[in-house]
Amino acid sequence: MDTFELKKVGLKATLPRLRILEIMERNADRHLSAEDVYKALIDAGEDVGLATIYRVLTQFEAAGIVERHNFDGNHAVFEIAKGPHHDHMVNVDTGHVIEFFDEEIEKRQRAIVEAHGFDLQGHSLVLFVKNRT
Amino acid sequence: MDTFELKKVGLKATLPRLRILEIMERNADRHLSAEDVYKALIDAGEDVGLATIYRVLTQFEAAGIVERHNFDGNHAVFEIAKGPHHDHMVNVDTGHVIEFFDEEIEKRQRAIVEAHGFDLQGHSLVLFVKNRT
DNA sequence: ATGAATGCAAAAACTTTGCATGACG
DNA sequence: CGTCATGCAAAGTTTTTGCATTCAT
């Protein structure tokens, strides 16, 4: 049960939160918008409000349970925070999202930030790609 | 005069477009929202509509005159497309944006995309940093 | 029991669009 | 002059908020 997962981060184990967490886990390989989660729950016969999805996903983000991304500037998508950090490649033809990790890039980022006298808090890297013709 | 700059990319040299281009050039070191540009023009006594700012900035983007960024997911900012490509560092304490370029990162990006069998169309890299305490 | 969480509807924030008028080439 | 661009206002999207009710502990 995910109940413990929620209590662990100080969130009451309410039904909507459990359902949303289930959806996110069941779609661990995808990036879902708030609307996507909402539709999935409505389709499953749950009685939930879109506002709750937004509120809960924001709480999950703060708790480190999910990550929020803005691949396009129009709407946010969420993915469950599974294991190690990774960045994303978006296929502009299909919309598909591919995950990748490159230690070299991570290392350079840290070096650059150091050199400017800052601490790195986080980063967002998205590569926009096309199928090779 | 910027008239030629506009005609060069196939845009009629209208007054609003010239004014907007001026603002962008005068603030080449900043990242302005559509609202910022709008206010600057209103303050300068120009009679312009916010819708025009959005339309023109979108055209400028398509023409390669400006670049659009989404540092946060809430609103777009624009900067004049000056010289060579660069990425951005956002100071989360102050909101300041610092530009940087790293050939190593660029190179790795190309290599990663190659390895996945794609063509790189573009990328978005933002480092979120904090003042060292 | 009691404070937190929810659903609904309304509002907010940003951006786009329809249309009549006005400006560019 | 014909067309394209503009301003205004209205509509569209996505996300947030207020409030009465319900739920978890």
Nearest nucleotide relative to B12: CA against C1'? C24
The residues pairing with A129 across neighbouring beta strands, listed in sequence order, are A91, B120
Q: Looking at residue B1, what is its pLDDT?
A: 74
Matching fold, domains B3-80 and B87-129: no
Q: Which nucleotides in chain D have some atom under 7 angstroms from a protein Cβ?
A: 4-10, 13-18, 23-25
Question: What is the token pair recorded at B24?
Answer: 């962008």
Q: Where are the beta strands (DSSP E) in chain A?
A: 66-69, 77-80, 87-91, 97-100, 118-131
What is the residue-wise DSSP string for B58-123? HHHHHHTSEEEE-SSSS--EEEE--SS--EEEEETTT--EEEE--HHHHHHHHHHHHHTTEEEEEE
Q: What's the average model confidence in pLDDT over B21-48?
A: 97
Report pLDDT digits (tens) over B50-89. Answer: 999 999 999 999 999 999 999 988 999 999 998 889 999 9
Q: How far is it between the farthest Cα atoms of chain A?
A: 54
Q: What percent of chain B has pLDDT over 70?
A: 100
Residue whose pair of structure tokens reads 């998205």 in the numeric block: A126
The architecture (CATH level 2) of B3-80 comes to Orthogonal Bundle (1.10)
Give average pLDDT by consecutive 10-residue segment, chain A, 133 residues: 90 97 96 98 96 98 96 95 92 93 98 97 96 87
Q: Looking at residue B2, what is its pLDDT?
A: 85
A102–B118 C-beta distance less than 8 A: no
* Residue-range domain boundaries for chain A: 3-80, 87-129
CATH topology of domain A87-129: Dna Ligase; domain 1 (3.30.1490)
Contacts of A123 in chain B (CB under 8 A): 125-128
